[in-house]
Structure 1
Amino acid sequence: MKLKLAVTAIVTALALSSCATSPTGRNQVLLYSEGQLAQMGDQAFTGMKEELKISNKPVQNSYVECVAKAITAQVPASVFDGVWEVVVFDDEQVNAFALPGGKIGVYTGLLNVAQNQDQLAAVIGHEVGHVIAEHGNERMSQSTLINIGTQAVGQVLAANEVSQSGPIMAAIGLGVQVGVQLPFSRTHESEADLIGLQLMARSGFDPRQSVDLWQNMEAASSGNRPMELLSTHPAPQTRIENLKANMSSAFTDFQSSSSRPRCS
């Protein structure tokens, strides 16, 4: 019991000493520094460039870079004040990502679903939104705290010779995944959607196209999605409803923007 109390105190101290607030006003626990995250992002990106085929189509690459440049121009210097590196990977995945340290990757498969510059901007804005909100830091911090807590429970069970400790630990793991990690991931996705919506609008891309994008995503998936409870991402219809609920302010930003990118 003393061990459990000690570990609980450590976890609590870590959480309290690392409190932050996301761009949408949500409380966060961030245990890692910006420098650590940037280094990890650079290492991961270097590895991907070595492992995956990079597109050699100049027009395609210029198009993606044009959209990304317009989006990243809206990123606060406090998040990243350098030149963003944008790479198009020749892969049929319908996906994109952004990493701390100014890295953006777009898979060519996404270009078949994001049918115009505004829809591509919705995806890139969403991915950059993860970086702005430090979701990578938050997820790693959460995993660190969960691992500390889970190890403590395991030691307590072993010390007290609790029967069926294996199934109990397995149940705890499943409970953490369904009850904490999956909803947490869905929260990140929804938050990145809203940050991305704002980014694309301020960059001069039509935010209404974000709804069309997710309709395209749903059609491309052919309905082959896990139930939302067991998914790390909200269902497309949930995302669409959230985007529509925030569309008025985003459209005002769009109309106020002096920028009108012409990426082709």
Structure 2
Amino acid sequence: MLKSKFFISTLAIILFIGCSTVPITGRRQLSFVPQSQLFTLSQDSYHQLLSESKLSNDAGKKEMVVKVGKSIAQSAEQFMRENDMEEEIKNYEWEFNLIEDDKTVNAFCMPGGKIAVYTGILPATQDETGLAVVLGHEVAHAIANHGGERMSQQLLVQLGATGLSVALSQQPAQTQQILLQAYGAGTNIGFILPYSRSHELEADHIGLILMARAGYNPREAIPFWQRMSKMGGERPPEFLSTHPEPERRIEDIKKELPEAMKYYKK
């Protein structure tokens, strides 16, 4: 009985202390993994992945990815400053890279602003605005700390409340190992923990706002997802395999467009 009460008390403390607020949506989320640990792992994994991949030599496409990515990131930083949340992203170091792989229709974001786009998704993006849909979505994952939230959930499941409190305070090596395991070492896209479908929909919502604030027409998100759906055929692209169905996304985007359009200035 005492152990049960202690467990519940410890869990309640962790859940109370380890919560933060997602920008734009205002959702409360679980977040107790220190940024220092999370970002170190993310940076190492990101650069390991890049070293094992073929980076694009197409100067024009690379420049477009960096240009659009920086524009979206600046939009995000401005929003965070305006809402007194800049402290949450002060240690972010944005990186945008283009990986040469026409068979992989995907893009990803690691904690701290480490983002990569595969050339296989460019036929669906078509232009800068289409790319802004993708990069707005990925930058949204970053500022919403979806990676940290998923890691926190995974740690809580693996260690339990009592073990978690001990590991975070006294056993950094053990915590680091679990972080590595949680990120799925050995997968074909590095140590990336798949986001939940609710995270994906939330990133769509936030991404619309960010791209609109950066000067990209958020209405173009709908034709982008229509093109992605057509590219899927019988075997959906990897970008869709762990994501909500394009039809569901399009319906949600239609509902969120009026809000996003308030920020769009031609």
Q: Same fold (TM over 0.5)?
A: yes
Instruction: Determine if contact 1:7/1:148 at 8 Å carries over to the other structure.
Output: no
Q: Superposition pairs for residues 179-218 of structure 1, below 5 Å?
A: 185-218=196-229
Alpha-carbon distance in 2 for matches of 1:150, 1:232: 28
Indicate yes or no: 2:50 matched with 1:49: yes
Give the structure 1 partner of residue 28 of structure 2: 27
Flag the 1:130–1:83 CA change in 2: closer, same or farther, 3 A: closer
Query: Which one-letter code corresponds to 2:227 in the other structure?
Result: N
Where does residue 133 of structure 2 map in the other structure? Answer: 122
Q: CA 1:82–1:145 in 2, change beyond 3 Å: closer, same or farther?
A: closer
Partner of 1:243: 253
Counterpart of 1:84 in structure 2 is: 94
Q: Is this contact kept in 1: 2:93–2:114, CA < 8 A? A: no
3-state secondary structure, aligned to 2:41: helix
Q: Which amino acid aligns with 1:141?
A: S
State whether structure 2 residue 110 is matched by structure 1 residue 110.
no
Mapped contact 1:80–1:102 kept (Cα < 8 A): no
* Same amino acid, percent of matched pairs: 39
Residue ranges of structure 1 left out of the alignment (5+ in a row) = 153-183, 226-230, 258-264
Give the length in aligned residue pairs.
221
Deviation of residue 35 (structure 1)? 2.2
**Alignment of 1:73 onto 2:83:** no
Contact 2:32 2:152 in 1 (8 A): yes
The equivalent of 1:145 in structure 2 is: 156
Taking the aligned partners of 2:157 and 2:93, their CA distance within structure 1 comes to 35
Q: Pick one of 129, 132, 136 that aligns with 2:147.
A: 136
State the distance in 2 between where 1:83 and 1:133 align.
Answer: 15
> Please, which runs of 5 or more residues in structure 2 have no aligned partner?
78-85, 164-194
For residues 149-186 of structure 1, give each alpha carbon's deviation from its aligned partner in whole angstroms, at most 9, with x where no partner exists: 4999xxxxxxxxxxxxxxxxxxxxxxxxxxxxxxx811
What TM-score does the superposition give when structure 2 sets the normalisation length?
A: 0.76
Alpha-carbon offset, residue 34 of structure 1:
2.2
> 2:186 maps to which residue?
none
CA spacing shift, 1:17–1:81, aligned 2, 3 Å:
closer
Q: Would the aligned equivalents of 1:87 and 1:106 in 2 still touch at CA under 8 Å?
A: yes
Distance 1:247 1:50 in 2: 38
Whether 1:234 and 2:244 are equivalent positions in the alignment is: yes
Cα distance, 1:241 vs structure 2: 0.9
The residue matched to 1:211 in structure 2 has which SS? helix
Larger Rg: 1 or 2? 1
**Structure 1 moving runs of 4+ over 6 Å:** none
Counterpart residue type for residue 35 of structure 2: E
Work out the CA distance in 2 between the residues paired with 1:104 and 1:42.
Answer: 10
**Normalising to structure 1: TM-score of the pair?**
0.76
Aligned to 2:29, the other structure's residue is in SS state strand
Deviation per CA, 1:40-79, whole angstroms, max 9, x where unpaired?
Answer: 2211111111111111111111111111121111122432
The superposition leaves residues 61-102 of structure 1 with CA deviations (integer Å, 9 ceiling, x where unpaired) of 111111112111112243246662221101121111222333
Question: Is the 1:11–1:148 Cα contact (8 Å) retained in structure 2?
Answer: no
Taking the aligned partners of 1:75 and 1:81, their CA distance within structure 2 comes to: 14
Q: 1:107 to 1:3 in 2, by over 3 A?
A: same
